[in-house]
Chain A
C-alpha cells in the first residue's frame, strides 16, 4: 500500500527566505506526483504536476523535483512571501490497476513579515 510522508509538518520562515518542502513515498511505481496548496477552510489548488518520466517542473517561484527511484520529491519556493502561507500537500498517482491519488498529510507553512 502506498504511503506518502511530508516533513516537516509545520514550518515558519521570515519573508524573503528560500525554502524546501519534502515528500517521500514508499512505492516507486507511480504515474505522476502532484503538489497542491490548501488555504484554511478552502479546497485544494494544483501547483505542479510531474510525470514519472520527468525530473522537475517549474512555475514562477516554485520548482518541484522528482526522484522516483529513491521515492522523494521536493518543492522549492524562492523568495517566500506572506501570501505563500498555506498548507502544501503532496500526492502520488499509482500506476497500478486501481489508480488513485494518495495524499500526504501536508506541511503547514507560515511566512512572517
Chain B
C-alpha cells in the first residue's frame, strides 16, 4: 500500500517550458487535490477533483491545468512555466471532500523555474 505517490521528485525548467506532474493513490479515494507550498504562505489549493470525472479551481489556478485520468490518477500541467511557479507541489487524496477522514499527502515535487 504505497498511499499517494508523486513523480518526479525534483524538476528544473526554463521559462516557457511545459511539464506534467503525476499523482496516483491506491487507497480507493474519491477526492484528489493539488497544492503548492511557498515560504511564508502556507499550502494553497490549486485544483481539486471531488470525484472521478470532475475538477474544480482552487485558490490559485492560474497557469495550471489538471486531468483526473481515472479514480487513481490526477495530473497537474504547467503549459508555459514561469519563475513565479517555482514551488513545492503536493498532491493529496481523501475518501470524500467533506467527511470524517483526513487528506493524505504525497512526498511532494520540488520545481524550480529559471
Q: How many A-B residue pairs have CB under 8 A?
A: 50
A46 to B101, CA, bound (A): 10
Residues of B within 8 A of A106 (CB): 42
Is A78 interfacial (CB-CB < 8 Å)?
no
A45 to B102, CA, bound (A): 10
The answer to whether B58 and A43 have CB atoms under 8 Å apart is: no
Is A99 interfacial (CB-CB < 8 Å)?
yes
Dominant SS among interface residues on chain A: strand
A46 to B95, CA, bound (A): 14
Of A4, A49, A95, A100, the contact of B42 (CB 8 Å cutoff) = A4
Taking CB atoms and an 8 Å cut-off, the chain A residues in 39-74 that contact chain B are 41-46, 49, 51
A109 to B6, CA, bound (A): 27
Of B58, B97, B102, the contact of A49 (CB 8 Å cutoff) = B102
Question: Whole-angstrom distance from the CB of A91 to the nearest CB of chain B?
Answer: 8
Query: For this complex, into which size category does the number of interface residues on chain B fall?
Result: 20 to 34
Is A113 interfacial (CB-CB < 8 Å)?
no
Is B51 interfacial (CB-CB < 8 Å)?
no
Of A31, A42, A46, A105, the contact of B103 (CB 8 Å cutoff) = A46
Of B48, B98, B105, the contact of A44 (CB 8 Å cutoff) = B105
A101 to B90, CA, bound (A): 13
A103 to B105, CA, bound (A): 14
The answer to whether B107 and A98 have CB atoms under 8 Å apart is: no
A4 to B59, CA, bound (A): 15
The answer to whether B102 and A46 have CB atoms under 8 Å apart is: yes
Task: Type the 1/0 row for B34-48, where 1 means its CB is closer than 8 Å to any CB of A.
Answer: 000000111111001
Q: A4-B42, A42-B108, A91-B43 are in contact. List 12 more A-B contacts (CB 8 A).
A: A31-B98, A32-B100, A36-B105, A43-B106, A43-B108, A44-B105, A95-B98, A99-B97, A100-B59, A101-B43, A103-B42, A105-B42
A residues near B (Cβ < 8 Å) are 4, 31-32, 34, 36, 41-46, 49, 51, 89, 91, 93, 95, 98-101, 103-106
